[in-house]
Structure 1
Amino acid sequence: MLKRVFVAPDPGRTRLRFATRAVLGIGLAVVLCGLAGHSLAGAVTGGLAALLALFTVTDATVRGQAVTTALLPAVGLPVLAAAAGLHDQPVARDLTFLAVVGAGVYARRWGPRGHSLGVFAFMTFFVAQFLHATPDRLPELWAAVVLSVLTAAAVRFGLWCYERRLPPPPVPAPPGGTGLARVTTRQAVQATAGAGFALVVGQLVSGQRWYWAVGATWWIFVNTTSRGETLVRGFRRILGTVIGIGLGLLLAVPLHGAALPSAVLLAACVFGIFYTAAVSYTWMMLCVTLLAELLYGLLGVLEPSLLALRLAETGIGALGAVLAVLFVLPVTTHAVTDAWIHRALRCVHACTAEAAARLAGSATADPASRVAELEQLLGRVRLSVAPLVHPLNPMLGRKRRARRVLALLDDGAREIRGLVAVAADPEASHDARLAAACWRVEAAVEALVGDGLSAAGREHITVPAPRPAAAEPALAHLHGLERALAELATPLRAPSRSPLVGA
């Protein structure tokens, strides 16, 4: 796990800049809240608002990110008002919280912006429970949210807008559909059901900290699509929480809320959340857990029994998520994985076509943007297949096939990157053999996905014989891509009773 975090590639040091900017933006927001005369509760609210503004906004363009950031208070302030106003009305408060959960998940159908606004709405209601917000504190909390979002925006779009120098990363949309066939609709129902279970059982365990269970259910559903992904994420959340509680006993509890060392550790936790989020959910949850413990220390209520309660509530939330994805409109891992593999293979063909056009002299062809899209789609494939390749999965045959699929997709991506690099060379040229190779790649993709991944279509795919590559780099990369696509037919050729991943 350590190796995965600290040895994972960080092209352009993007994760490092992401985390460093977060510490700067959130720290500045908290300082300004303090200078504005806000209480500790106001500073905590402001810090969380800045964290969410910097963490959850993932639109593909800087302009889109700015629009989404500007919309955050429009969503968060009414939710905060509702949470505070219903503080003394438990039934209405709980029903409203569940409505926020369902609406927040359903909003993902509108892409990154809907996802960001849904997360902000949920966390605004959550922090109101965390701070026991009441109507008389609303003006301060509203002011803290607005000030902190503005501060985060000033850092992100003014002081340190490194995205302007980078190509915008494409964000794949979730699989489509209509009605209950739409994944986001099913997940909204699942999340609401799971959160309802967590809320009821969490309140039986603790009338004060029940919202931890609802929060655990919510965050297990974030960035997952299928049943298998959600189960794996629940396991990783519990593991991260357990390790974080252990660190809390060693670090947070002995501090007794001391301001300076707590502030230093809080900054380290913020850095850890942002730096590890893209590579390890377990590590991110470790940092989130330790951050929460430090905040409770500053509020003067941290003790070992509170940590034990957090673990219990996290387990309840995870159980709620598991029950929901197993029994409420389940979304099978197989169907979702197939959808992402289809899209990745289609993108492979698009990359090849763009590279061939560039080699033919087209000034408008842009294979580099297609490669970026392919990387994003392969990331989604890896996330979808994660349940099958997990060490605890006992289905060894499917595990081997899934690993083979991932390896061949990575081989194809490597050949695509090589082809694009050759296409960028002004001395490279186009010939008839290159066009023929591109046609063969298109045919291979169509044979794999054009007929719904049926075995009959794959029977016509043949693996090309090895070919010397030294003198013809573009053809060599295309030939390697042909081989990877042809060899994909074997692990993807499975009878309906034995899909690539469990249904």
Structure 2
Amino acid sequence: MAPDPGRLRLRTAARAVIGVSLSVGVAEAAGLPLPATILGGLTALLALFVVGDPSARRQAVTTALLPAVGAPVLALATALHALPATRDAAFLAVVFCGVYARRWGARGQALGIFGFMMFFATQFLRAVPAQLPALYAAMAMALAVCAMVRFGLWCIERHTPPPAGPAPLAARGLARHTTRQAFQATVACGLALGAGQIVSHDRWYWAVGTAWWIFVNTAARGETLVRGFRRVVGTVAGIAVGLLVAVPLHGALVPSLALVAVCVFGIFYTAAPSYSWMMFFVTVMAGMLYGLLGVLHPGLLALRFEQTLVGALGSAFALAVVLPVTTHAVTDAWIRRALLAVRHCTAESARRLAGDELADPGPHVAELELLLGKVRVSLAPLLHPLSPLRARKERARQVLAELDECARQARGLAAVAADPDASHDARMTAACRRVETALHALLVSEAAPLPAGELAAHPHHHPGAERALTHLHQLEASLTSLATPLRTSPRGVFVDA
């Protein structure tokens, strides 16, 4: 039921089913063994899921680089199959490098995830060096098929490129988010690995996988804990369906493959709006794959739940003690970025209304929308129904409401400024100054006064100026209202005083 503008999620999910199905079909037609075929399907799913560069050209380059990471990781993991201690150390090294690579943006994240999942898949399939040729062949075929589907048959990104995310929060050394998270994830995966092996000597890697994925696309401690909770919820629901559907099928080929295709669609269609639903489909798909391998039984699904809890608890512990990043610190930074975007949008709109045809508030409006998305994600732990922090929850709601109103007025102001007949009158200068004063009160360190020349007044009135003044007055009111929730917390939950 979540909004799907342009049916982008629907098209992406349908394309994923086609890409994964063709990859599996090609592997089967080539006569590859079942473990290699499963790896080919996983490779296709990952190639279509994790590659998220902002242009089709960059996506093609990242896709071409996937085997440069996956092939050596596969070789390493299979070579260490009989050396548990060395294998575990290598796995943790892959975890650290995979998370640290996120500092290089979408491409680093895609390559890091792919490398981790190749090591993970080797444990899942119990692959040995003798199987490497078949595994490499399956990987190559899957990537070729995915490239054909994604960049040839159905290039959604060529027509509707995904919006580029806002630049990461600036930091250096251990203050950099990706560096801190690399240490956190490594400790979490190490704890999950050790405890997971105590629970099960054969399926310990499930706990490591849980700990790893909880850290993907998260920034603050609360955000990551909520993600862990949602993963457990989705896994429990998936196990329940697995008991009702996957176990009775006993690995029957045709219905199992059909349900795997449904799960692939569900993973892609629900990934953006609901992590719990995505994990539900991932868990059901895992059950189907174990059924195809002939090892599925109710006890195995129960073990998956236990390993999921182990991984989630390992992550929670690491988040609490290893270079913790608090929710209010991350939220503070994103709110400041959003308010700066409001300021730049207002300044550009004012210049455009004053007659500067080169001024363009449009990019700042688009940036503001992306930054508000980051604020919503960062505040999600405080807004969660189970959050006991009622006062902070209410302040978070107020902040989001006022920021949404700021964005609405900024969009309206930019639309008025785009009207070539709109003009600027003497009242605009005073209104822009009041907005600037309200922003300066919230962003003392970042906001410098606007140059006076940008707001030169014209004596005549125009309906466009009237609409712009309305937007400016309402924007000023929202910014003034923001001061209360942003500064009432004794701990400085959002913007520090």
- Identify whether the pair has TM-score above 0.5, normalized to the shorter chain: yes
| Distance in 2 separating the partners of 1:299 and 1:424 | 61
Q: Which residue of the partner structure matches residue 315 of structure 2? A: 321
Equivalence for 2:86: 92
Q: Which residue among 378, 384, 405 is the counterpart of 2:378?
A: 384
* CA deviation after TM superposition for structure 1 residue 41, in Å: 1.2
Q: Give the secondary structure class of the aligned counterpart of 1:133.
A: coil
Partner of 2:199: 205
Q: Which residue number in structure 1 is paired with residue 467 of structure 2?
A: 473
CA distance in 1, matches of 2:98, 2:155: 28
The 8 Å contact of residues 487 and 495 in structure 2, kept in 1 or not, is answered as no
**Deviations 1:18-77 (Å, cap 9, x if unpaired)?**
211111222222112222222221121111111111111111222222221111111111
Task: Give the Cα separation in 2 of the matches to 1:476 and 1:226.
Answer: 37
Distance 1:442 1:64, change over 3 A: farther
Q: Secondary structure at 1:480's aligned position in 2?
A: helix
Matches within 5 A, 1:429-440: 429-434=423-428, 436-440=430-434
In the alignment, is the contact (CA less than 8 A) between 2:235 and 2:279 conserved in 1? Answer: yes
The 1:83/1:399 distance shift into structure 2, 3 A limit, reads: same
Match of 1:155 in 2: 149
State the alpha-carbon separation in 2 of the partners of residues 133 and 306 from structure 1.
20
Among all aligned residue pairs of Structure 1 and Structure 2, give the percentage whose two residues are the same amino acid: 63
Matched letter for residue 15 of structure 1: R
Using the alignment, how far apart are the partners of 1:439 and 1:68 within structure 2?
A: 46
Matched, 1:300 2:329: no
Q: Distance in 2 between matches of 1:439 and 1:51?
A: 52
Shift of 1:115: 0.9
Deviation at 1:170, TM superposition (A): 1.7
Q: 1:145-294 alignment to 2 at 5 Å?
A: 145-166=139-160, 168-294=162-288
How far off is 1:435 after superposition? 5.0
Q: String of CA shifts for 1:105-151, please: whole Å, max 9, x gaps.
A: 11111111111111111111111111011111111111211221122
Quote the offset at 1:388 in angstroms: 0.9
Aligned-partner residue type, residue 86 of structure 1: L
How large is the Cα RMSD of the aligned pairs? 2.1
Check conservation: 1:385, 1:501, Cα contact below 8 A. Answer: no
Matches within 5 A, 1:61-140: 61-140=55-134
- When structure 1 is superposed on structure 2, of 389-398 and 437-446 the one drifting more is 437-446
- Aligned-partner SS, 1:175: coil
How big is the shift at 1:358? 4.5
Give the alignment's TM-score, normalised by structure 1. Answer: 0.91
The size of the alignment, in residue pairs, is 481
User: Which residue of 2 is the match for residue 17 of structure 1?
Assistant: 11
Match of 2:454 in 1: none
- Residues 333, 501 of structure 1: 8 Å contact kept: no
Does the 8 A contact of 1:355 with 1:419 survive in 2? yes
Instruction: Tell me which residue corresponds to 2:480.
Output: 486
Shift of 1:480: 2.0
1:34·1:43 contact (CA, 8 Å) conserved in 2?
Answer: yes
Shift in CA distance, 58/366, structure 1 to aligned 2, threshold 3 Å: farther
TM superposition shift of 1:386: 1.0
Using the TM superposition, give the Cα deviation of residue 83 of structure 1 relative to its aligned residue in structure 2, in angstroms.
Answer: 0.6
Q: In structure 2, give the amino acid aligned to 1:59.
A: D
| CA spacing shift, 1:358–1:95, aligned 2, 3 Å | same
Return the offset for 1:357.
Answer: 4.4
Pairing 1:417–2:411 present: yes
Q: Return the offset for 1:439.
A: 4.1
In 1, distance between residues paired with 2:421 and 2:262?
Answer: 49
C-alpha contact (below 8 Å) 2:21/2:261 kept by paired residues: yes
Deviation at 1:206, TM superposition (A): 0.8
Separation in 2 of the partners of 1:33 and 1:361? 62
Cα distance in 1 for residues equivalent to 2:481 and 2:98: 41
Partner of 2:450: none
Q: Give yes or no for contact 1:103–1:188 (8 Å, CA) kept in 2.
A: yes
Structure 1 SS opposite 2:443: helix
- Select the residue among 372, 381, 390 that pairs with 2:366: 372
User: Which has the higher mean CA deviation after the structures are superposed, 345-354 or 181-190?
Assistant: 345-354
What residue identity is the alignment partner of 1:287? F
In 2: Cα distance, 1:269 partner to 1:74 partner? 28
- On the 8 A contact 1:401/1:500 being kept in 2, the answer is no
Q: Which residue of 1 aligns with 2:453?
A: none
2:199 partner amino acid: V
Q: Is the 8 A contact 1:50 1:148 kept in 2?
A: yes
Residue 460 of structure 2 is matched in structure 1 by none
Deviation at 1:496, TM superposition (A): 4.5
Shift, 1:488, TM fit: 0.6
- In 2: Cα distance, 1:363 partner to 1:411 partner: 27
Decide which moves more: 263-272 or 344-353.
344-353
CA distance in 2, matches of 1:18, 1:354: 36
| Range with bigger deviation, 275-284 or 444-453 | 444-453
**C-alpha separation between the residues in 1 aligned to 2:191 and 2:7?**
41
How many angstroms does 1:394 deviate by?
A: 1.2
Q: More displaced, 106-115 or 191-200? A: 106-115
